[in-house]
Amino acid sequence: MKTYLVTGAAGFIGANYIKYLLKNYPDVKIVVLDLLTYAGNLGTIAKDIDNDRCTFHRGNIGDRALVDSLFAEYKFDVVVNFAAESHVDRSIENPQLFLETNILGTQNLLDSARKAWVTGKDEQGYPTWREGVRYHQVSTDEVYGSLGDEGYFTEDTPLCPHSPYSASKTSADLFVMAYHDTFHMPVTITRCSNNYGPYHFPEKLIPLIIKNILEGKKLPVYGDGSNVRDWLYVEDHCKAIEMVVRNGRVGQVYNVGGHNEKKNIEIVRLTISTIHRLMTETPEYRKVLKKKELGADGQLSIDWINDSLITYVKDRLGHDQRYAIDPTKIKEELGWYPETTFEVGIVKTIEWYLNNQAWVEEVTSGDYQHYYERMYTGR
């Protein structure tokens, strides 16, 4: 049995990861540490933590006394760090918070793990480490910067972040590698492209578009919508992380991506047409519509669910044009490949949102509306 400290697991990917671990790996016990910021929601993992294999602690990864006390209590074998401020737009508004959580918080976890895991020194003076321990950092393809029309990010692509978010994630990665190079700490890093799937907070493109369609609101698209992202179904990312934690080579970075490049505007159009199709095939789904307009047949109309909802808004500052991952290394070394095609994953995701409107209401009950209006309408 191994005990994992999983930080940020009340957020999107971390929550999917602990669900994936609990389902597939009976040899793992989990302790979740999450501050429950606007992006964290205890309801998302309520059923998972009500279990003797998974415990929850609310707190900050940057709180040294707390993290040290958790290491002392649970004797972690593995740390998987998801905790982060994760939204580029918010990093443009408040870069300082990204520095505190993403850089200082990561360094705090690294140092606490070092204190707990070092057993002595080798002849050259390098620390020796407890058998089987591993620190894993969940990073992003945004650390590589932006691509033109051609080419892919490999693990050797120079780091060239542009936003305060990606700069903070890059700095965190550099600290993780510095702990490996300087202290021989057993670390790994995964750099993943854009994820989508259940429990995604509706400030990010796909869940935001779904939410707005159901409410009959305009769909804000930055610039001309031509920015390209490489989309990966979240469970495929979780599987990749676990493969790297278990079998990845220490001190290595693994890129994770789905070879699924789409322009933002394509994603928006596909989401519109998929919701329209699902509601045509299963009229029962229309009951979640907030815009209640009756059609000639006496049913809730969906005629207005079309591309006319799209509205182009002022582009994001420093908006990266294209991200695309070359996942050859993780495929060849560990046998990972994405199992869910985009065509299947997007339908699963939309159906999840249609069936889980109570979750959307819960996570957007805070300052969401205020934030949304400020970002997209400039009010």
Q: Of the listed 48, 85, 142, 236, which one is catalytic?
A: 142
How many Å apart are CA 149 and CA 261, to the nearest integer? 11
**Smallest distance, ligand NAD to C-beta of residue 118, A:** 24
**Smallest distance, ligand NAD to C-beta of residue 289, A:** 26
**Smallest distance, ligand NAD to C-beta of residue 286, A:** 29
**Smallest distance, ligand NAD to C-beta of residue 12, A:** 3
Residue closer to ligand NAD (CB basis): 170 or 212: 170
**Smallest distance, ligand NAD to C-beta of residue 229, A:** 9
How many Å apart are CA 144 and CA 45, to the nearest integer? 32
Is 93 one of the annotated active-site residues of the chain? Answer: no
How many Å apart are CA 71 and CA 347, to the nearest integer? 41
Residue closer to ligand NAD (CB basis): 109 or 302: 109
Using CB under 6 A as the criterion, which residues of the chain lie in contact with ligand NAD when the complex forms?
Answer: 7-8, 10-14, 33-37, 39-40, 60-62, 82-86, 101, 105, 138, 140, 169, 192, 194-195, 201
Is 142 one of the annotated active-site residues of the chain? Answer: yes
**Smallest distance, ligand NAD to C-beta of residue 14, A:** 5
Angle at Cα 48 formed by Cα 42 and Cα 54, nearest 5°?
100
Place of tokens 């360094």: 107
Place of tokens 């600290």: 175
Residue closer to ligand NAD (CB basis): 14 or 279: 14
Give every CB contact of residue 33 below 8 A, 6+ residues apart in sequence. 5, 6, 7, 8, 9, 57, 59, 61, 66, 67, 70, 83
Is 141 one of the annotated active-site residues of the chain? Answer: yes
How many Å apart are CA 157 and CA 140, to the nearest integer? 13
**188 forms bridges with which residues in the sheet?**
136, 252
Residue of minimal Cβ distance to ligand NAD: 11
Q: Of the listed 135, 144, 152, 165, which one is catalytic?
A: 165
Cβ pair 143, 256 in contact under 8 A:
no
How many Å apart are CA 235 and CA 345, to the nearest integer? 10
The single-letter DSSP state of residue 231 is E
| Burial group, residue 65, by CB count within 10 angstroms (0-12, 13-18, 19+) | exposed
Q: Of the listed 48, 85, 141, 261, which one is catalytic?
A: 141
**33 forms bridges with which residues in the sheet?**
7, 57
**Smallest distance, ligand NAD to C-beta of residue 357, A:** 19
How many Å apart are CA 185 and CA 127, to the nearest integer? 8
Comparing CA positions, the residue from 139, 154, 143, 119 lying closest to residue 244 is 139
Residue closer to ligand NAD (CB basis): 85 or 242: 85
Residue closer to ligand NAD (CB basis): 36 or 72: 36
Residue closer to ligand NAD (CB basis): 279 or 363: 363
Residue closer to ligand NAD (CB basis): 86 or 274: 86
Give the CA-trace dihedral at 189, 194, 197, 203, to 10 degrees. 110
Residue positions annotated with a catalytic role: 141-142, 165
